[in-house]
Amino acid sequence: MQYFSGRFKEKASDLILDFHSTIKFEERMAYYDIMGSIAHVRGLGKQNIITHEEAELIEKTLKEILKEIEEGKFKFLVEYEDIHMNIEKVLIDKIGDTGKKLHTGRSRNDQAALDLKLYVKDEIKKVQSYIVELLEILNKTAENNLKTFMPGFTHLQKAQPITFGHYLMAYAEMFKRDYERLENAFDVMNFSPLGSAALAGTTYPLDMEYTSRILGFKRPVWNSLDGVADRDHVMETISVLSIIMVHLSRFCEEIILFCSNDFGYIELSDAFSTGSSIMPQKKNPDAAELIRGKSGRVFGDLMGILTAVKGIPLAYNKDMQEDKEAFFDAVDTVKACFTVFNGMVKTMKPNKERMLKACHNGFINATDAADYLTRKGMSFRDAYKITGTIVAYCIDNKKSLENLSLEEYKNFSDLFENDIYKEIDIENCVEKRKTLGGPSEEKVKLHIENTKNFINTAIENIKNYKLNDIF
């Protein structure tokens, strides 16, 4: 700060410099800061606010600085507070007075707003790529498990039979929505704040449409106060990241449950499990637990940014620089979780026998027995009651619906015939559920097809994505 100041007589104390400096965690913004500066300087040249030669020299030097940063040769200094001033300082060191023209008609306020928007946009695309990778894994695993029967649960009590494929595709839907939520957040934030300057725009005739366009935005913001004071994109994107963590965490919770000894529905690969320091038999799902636990961090980041922004008067206030650590932590966490999660899901093995066995206790075909009576003319409520009585009888006599004799069935209703056994056969129970989105093979296949199309469109979208026309 001191470097640029004429207003101050005394040097800032090291304490305050250290306290408000963002450069300690902001180096990752260098690429975006330089991109924004190049757009700005091209705009200045285009409008003859500075000469073309000056604009070209600044652009060339900024590119050199970026190279130095990428090669690890650049020294970031706390005394220059943030990424913007660190880079501007070196620019001026390199080309003197011409470098001092870069900041004409610009403020760190629109610069900071712009940099983070560019960064958030890029990160959104990265998170989307992880989602697509996971969708491919889910689709493929589901395809291989269209006939892997398992109990579906409500209240964590066995409810009705489904398949492992059907189960996995439920998560595919959640992640498809997350992908769309990210896309939506991207579209909503896609307006360039460059030109808003400190808060009230500037007297220089900037061509904001031009800089907005070469930076890959839809158009400039409509209001300069909003341009610099808006952090909705940070809040919204962390909201979506939080929802993603909810989904990952629910999935992890089930993985932990399903690979426990008592369930044994799935086995995690050794590569994604850990042992115990004392109990030799242990194979723990630590990765799933850690992802479940890390959801808390991301929710914390969301609460942090919501709270930081909620009481800020327009326009820029220093509170707003809390946006970066919140976003960095949230997005780093989500990406790290996906890296591990995708590998864990890809390599886990369903235990088909255990799942099928689990289908044969817990009366998960009781609804089918009631539906059977209903189809033979009884009202559903009466059929429900009779089937409940049969279940109670089975419990008392340690039997299941499958191994009751027809005679026993007939004691409850004359409508029972030999075809009841086919009706309550687990595979048949699943196959009969042909409503859209249901577990029958045909409907899960349909869902998989739809998801394939979704994946292909998403891959195309990500491939065609280009942040800007600068680099």
Question: Where along the sequence are the contacts to ligand ARG (CB under 6 A)?
Answer: 22, 82, 108-109, 112, 316, 318, 320-321
Tokens of 161: 């039979």
Using DSSP, state whether 408 is helix, strand or coil. helix
Q: Please, which residue, 318 or 466, has the CB nearer to ligand ARG? A: 318
Residue 12 buriedness (CB in 10 A; 0-12 / 13-18 / 19+): middle
Provide, rounded to whole angstroms, the least separation between the CB of residue 19 and ligand ARG. 12
Packed helices 380-396 and 366-375: angle between N→C axes, nearest 10 degrees:
140
Provide, rounded to whole angstroms, the least separation between the CB of residue 197 and ligand ARG. 11
CA distances from 308 to 65, 107, 120, 359 (A): 33, 22, 18, 50
Q: Please, which residue, 123 or 136, has the CB nearer to ligand ARG? A: 123
Q: Please, which residue, 112 or 138, has the CB nearer to ligand ARG? A: 112
Q: Please, which residue, 21 or 145, has the CB nearer to ligand ARG? A: 21
Q: Please, which residue, 82 or 368, has the CB nearer to ligand ARG? A: 82
Residue of minimal Cβ distance to ligand ARG: 321
Provide, rounded to whole angstroms, the least separation between the CB of residue 9 and ligand ARG. 19
Amino acid at 157: Q
Provide, rounded to whole angstroms, the least separation between the CB of residue 221 and ligand ARG. 17
Considering the candidates 155, 269, 295, 447, report the single residue annotated as catalytic: 155
The residues pairing with 350 across neighbouring beta strands, listed in sequence order, are 266
Which residues contact residue 177 at a Cβ distance below 8 angstroms, ignoring those fewer than 6 apart? Answer: none
Closest CA to 55 of 43, 69, 68, 41: 41
CB 216 within 8 A of CB 39: no
447: annotated active-site residue: no
Q: Please, which residue, 56 or 322, has the CB nearer to ligand ARG? A: 322
Provide, rounded to whole angstroms, the least separation between the CB of residue 32 and ligand ARG. 12
Q: Please, which residue, 5 or 184, has the CB nearer to ligand ARG? A: 5
20: annotated active-site residue: no
The residues pairing with 220 across neighbouring beta strands, listed in sequence order, are 192
Whether the upstream peptide bond of residue 197 has omega within 30° of 0, thus cis, is no
Q: Distance (Å, rounded) from C-alpha 410 to C-alpha 424?
A: 16
Residue 232 buriedness (CB in 10 A; 0-12 / 13-18 / 19+): middle
Q: Distance (Å, rounded) from C-alpha 29 to C-alpha 324?
A: 10
Considering the candidates 260, 269, 276, 379, report the single residue annotated as catalytic: 276
Provide, rounded to whole angstroms, the least separation between the CB of residue 97 and ligand ARG. 24
Provide, rounded to whole angstroms, the least separation between the CB of residue 16 and ligand ARG. 12
Using DSSP, state whether 350 is helix, strand or coil. strand
Using DSSP, state whether 218 is helix, strand or coil. coil
Query: How many DSSP H helices and E strands does the chain contain?
Result: 19, 6
Closest CA to 107 of 91, 85, 89: 85
Q: Please identify which residue in the block is written with the tokens 């209240």.
A: 155
* Active centre residues (catalytic): 155, 276
